Amino acid sequence: MPAPEIRAVADNLVEALRFFGRARQDAEICDLPGVTLIFCGLNYAAFNAALLTRQVDDDAAELERLVQLSAAHFEARKLRWTLWICDDFLSGRLRRQAPLILDRWGLRLLTQAPGMYAAHLLPPDRALPSVEVRRVDDERTRTAFAEIMSTAFEIPHSVSASIYGSERAWCSGFQGYVGFENGRAVTSAASTMTTDAIGLYSVATLPQHRRRGFAEAIMRQVLERAATQPTVLQSTSSGLSLYEKMGYRTVTDFAVYIAD
């Protein structure tokens, strides 16, 4: 049984990615035993996700069954997609076997995302910039959020605008925020609440404004608005050192595979 911190990270991630299954009228979410399938309404792999939702342990046949189910769901529509697996949902032996199993289904490892947890944040170790944080709730903030996502994560502008610029996308529990300096949008973050934690996602800063503390500033402001409870996130390699300084620690890893 994964530790409570691992379960909190994994459950929050599934809830956060549901955002993409609600963003468009033709998007959908399919919850099946052991796996959640999310279709964003577009043929864009990063936003079409299959996420394992329970332990498989050492059962290679069960892992293959869940992958087959996911592949059939997306490939019937000729969609590219990604598969997210929490390392602690597999035994050590099956974790080593997984790449070979998944290769049979046309899936290759795209990245490893550390799952991080903080019971509370440490005080900042530097002066943070002043940033006006606005919730994404109108056309201006939706457009700004979409543009930051497109630039920071190299998402095609049309895809980013179609998802993040959609009014219906922001009617769920996934709350977006944009940070402004002198009236210009410079940074972003989003949050998702689950029973055991608040998760932070979409933390990004436009390239010309990086290394000035905007990401940390918006993260802290967003968390100040939330109830006092543990916080979780998935890190990129570039953000890992910042999050560790803020008090986060890696409790698990997520292997992300992409269908070629």
Q: Which two tokens stand for residue 175?
A: 């709350």
| CA atoms within a 13 Å half-sphere pointing along the CA-CB vector of 143 | 4
pLDDT score at 97: 96
pLDDT score at 1: 53
Q: Which two tokens stand for residue 214?
A: 């905007």
pLDDT in tens, the chain (260 residues): 579 999 999 999 999 999 999 999 999 999 999 999 999 999 999 999 999 999 999 999 999 999 999 999 999 999 999 999 999 999 999 999 999 999 999 999 999 999 999 999 999 999 999 999 999 999 999 999 999 999 999 999 999 999 999 999 999 899 999 999 999 999 999 999 999 999 999 999 999 999 999 999 999 999 998 766 899 999 988 889 999 999 999 999 999 999 98
Q: Specify whether the CB–CB gap between 153 and 188 falls below 8 A.
A: no
Q: Specify whether the CB–CB gap between 178 and 144 falls below 8 A.
A: yes
Q: Alpha-carbon distance 214 to 197, whole Å?
A: 23
Q: Alpha-carbon distance 149 to 161, whole Å?
A: 9
Q: Specify whether the CB–CB gap between 202 and 149 falls below 8 A.
A: yes
Instruction: Give the chain's domains with CATH numbers.
Output: 4-114 (3.40.630.30), 132-250 (3.40.630.30)
